Structure 1
Amino acid sequence: MTKTTLKKPLLRDYLSVSYYLHDLYQYRKATEEQFSYESWAQELGFQHRSFLRQVVIGRRALTEKTARQICERLFFTPSEQEHFMILAHYSKSRSAREREAFGKRLIQLLEQNYYQTEIEAYEEFVSSPLFPRLQVLLALGEEPKTPEAMTRFLNADPLQVAKGLMILTKLGLATSSDAGYKATVGNFKVPSNLGSNSLLEYHKESLQEAITARSLPHHLRRYKSMILAMSQEEFELFLKNMDGFVKEQLHKFDTTKADGRRLFQVNMNLFSVSEELQ
């Protein structure tokens, strides 16, 4: 990656202080020849580089004093300073109650800085996993895209692509011209209507595609799983954390550039596999 393609980390994209500081360090290390832990420690007012390095690699947590010290030297607007301090408290929270309170405020800050158009008439939009992908693809790059090009990019059925483009145009999400199609909406979301048959069918098809994706090369797919013992209260907290993680990734990888990128489908599933334990 060259200096011209590096993107400076944005605080609003993170839910972890150490991840943010790590990426900021890597960015400055790559773009400033003389930058080091030594020079950064001096810049931030630390006598020794060791503590700063331990924070960056996630082995030490910031105290209120050291968080404030970094905050005042890295950020100059009240909104950024508030965000950093809340993030610092969230990262070191020990109790579920504290983490929930700071996490809730972080999500509010993320929502304030990341607007998504809600697709109200979503049933047709989610009637196939292909259609949201078409919308994301149309929002990448500046040039209009032809149905033939999108069929090739997505390895899709031409008739399904044509149907999807018709639906996107009808919903006002895309426009067409002689040159092809372009998105009128970039970032979007679908209402979280629990129990919606349309959404259930969408997730069913997405999961079936995930099974088929086992045949893809290893560098193009991953499967991860974990089993947690949680109370109903902890389950709800996990959901909030998962929502926060999703928003963080949407922020971090939000782009309109198409060069060298693929579309990746990410499915997150959470369900009970046992009866309630006594």
Structure 2
Amino acid sequence: MEELYTYTNYRNYLRDFYYERKKTLEGYSFAQFSTEAGIGSPNYLKLVMDGKRNLSQKSIGNFARGLGLTPGKARYFEYLVLFNQAADEDERTTYFRKMRMVKLKNRRERNLTDYEYEFLSKLHYNAVYELVLLTDFRPDPAWITQRLGGLLSEDEAKRTLDNLQRLGFLREKNERLVQSFRKLQTPDEEINLALRSFHKKVMELGMAALNQPLDEREFRGLTIAVNRDRLPQIKERLKRFVKELNDELSQERAPDSVYQLGLQFIPLTRSLPPPVLPKKS
């Protein structure tokens, strides 16, 4: 089975663990796991695997013992459970970051997922990454802070430059910082979480930009009734527009500014439950 640190769903991990153990240990059962974990219910593992039960803080520790996890992996498993059972996106993001920190501490290598999550989740990383394309770019934290209008502090600017180079996004060429690549691919779950943090910051900046001069920004809005069956077509059209704009503007020979485009297409209505029909007498 895969290493624990590769999982983003603890029920999948439990399922893989159980069937792997069944293959290697004759007679292994749900009841045996409960005994080793110190749990009274003989089929509790199955209920959790099937999504019929969640894990409490106490039972997380019991499960870690039954799984035979080291302290580092037990901590990752705890955050993984809390991540999956989180009530809202802020809580999910918090535990996902904790998962990453534990993983980085307990693994020798840093994989592509870690790199891209760091890059995607922070708007100022993207801003500095594009800033290096400007003809007047200077790798000076004070200049970066001033050029980006206070989007980040000087300390953050220095840290961002260092991290973008350390992570391999920026490299030196002919005594100048240049971009290393434009696109990475990672598991959808991790991209989704990273982009939520990113889009949240973009929307905050959009609100602040309402006070900027009209000739420097563009706002458009549309409220319209649609058929839900057309959603895939509409979303694909928006994606195509962004891609085409990106392809065109990326060919710019001497850019002098960095802009942020944000697109939101969100439902204002909610589905209602079907009406309850009166019983026939």
TM-score after normalising by structure 1: 0.49
Higher relative contact order (CA 8 A, sep 6+): 1
Q: In terms of Rg, which structure is larger?
A: 2
Q: TM-score, normalised by structure 2?
A: 0.49
